[in-house]
Amino acid sequence: MPAPELRLVLAVSLDGRLAPAQGGAAQLGGTGDRRVLEEALAWSDACLIGARTLRLHGTTCLIHAPDLLERRRCSQLPDQPVAVVVSRSGDLDPALPFFRQPLPRWLLSPLDPADASPAAGFDRQLTLQHWPEALAALADAGLRRLVLLGGAELAGQLLHEQLVDELQLTLCPQLLGGAHSWLPAALSLEPNRWTLQEQRALGGDELLLRYRRLREPAPALAPPP
């Protein structure tokens, strides 16, 4: 089974932050960003979400737009993609509103399920030891189009492993400063290059940029004259 298609979807400030300097649950995007986030979810079979983001926000994003829900129903897709939570600790409060949202919940974790049953609140649990195998297992289970909802720690790992195919960034018209860059500061990356697929003004001074990874090697730099 080929690896699933993976699209990272984030709202970022003009200075490349995904959360304010003091941290906490970031709400950067406006209505235009909400629409393109829902469009990405409507394209997907599942979304991946880091446990810290889920703890801070308490919920994941649902598709609400009637036209997108209709499109999914016409394509015989369930209303909402599966929410795949990534956690080492498995420490997720069952009282979080997430556990009452109308969508399937899977857990991806290196924790060995003590028995064959998934962790409390989850419909299914898959093992995460190495990312390529974990993504292949998701594809085997029918989740072939994945939206990666962050946060930075999770995004950094998948970019480091060159497993992200697309970047969908909404540039939001504010400067935030602080340490919460949309990629971890210590991240090391192989040389990489992306090609622009889409740019769209979203209203409210927000700009959507969608880039696709170029898999061929970057051209060698010309020697200095």
Ligand X SMILES: NC(=O)c1ccc[n+]([C@@H]2O[C@H](COP(=O)([O-])OP(=O)(O)OC[C@H]3O[C@@H](n4cnc5c(N)ncnc54)[C@H](OP(=O)(O)O)[C@@H]3O)[C@@H](O)[C@H]2O)c1
Report d(CA 112, CA 127) in Å as an integer: 7
The pairing of strands 46-50 and 5-13 is unpaired
Question: With binding defined as CB under 6 A, does residue 32 bind ligand X?
Answer: no
Q: How far is the CB of 200 from ligand X (least distance, A)?
A: 17
- The CA–CA distances, whole Å, from 139 to 45, 126, 135, 146, 149 equal 10, 12, 6, 9, 18
Three-point CA angle 107, 89, 184, nearest 5°: 90
Comparing CB distances to ligand X, the nearer of 80 and 109 is 109
Q: Which of 26, 42, 47, 147 binds ligand X (CB under 6 A)?
A: 26
Q: How far is the CB of 136 from ligand X (least distance, A)?
A: 15
Comparing CB distances to ligand X, the nearer of 59 and 73 is 59
> Which residue number is nearest to ligand X in terms of Cβ?
151
Report d(CA 144, CA 150) in Å as an integer: 18
Residues forming a β-bridge with 24: none
Q: How far is the CB of 121 from ligand X (least distance, A)?
A: 13
Question: With binding defined as CB under 6 A, does residue 149 bind ligand X?
Answer: yes
Binding mask 81-120 for ligand X (x = CB under 6 A): -----xxxx-x-----------------xx----------
Angle of helix 31-43 relative to helix 66-74, nearest 10 degrees, comes to: 10
Comparing CB distances to ligand X, the nearer of 4 and 150 is 150
# chain residues binding ligand X, by CB under 6 A: 29
Report d(CA 28, CA 25) in Å as an integer: 10
CA torsion 157→106→59→33, rounded to 10°? 60
Question: With binding defined as CB under 6 A, does residue 153 bind ligand X?
Answer: yes
Using CB under 6 A as the criterion, which residues of the chain lie in contact with ligand X when the complex forms? 10-11, 18-19, 23-26, 28, 50-53, 56, 86-89, 91, 109-110, 128, 149-154, 157
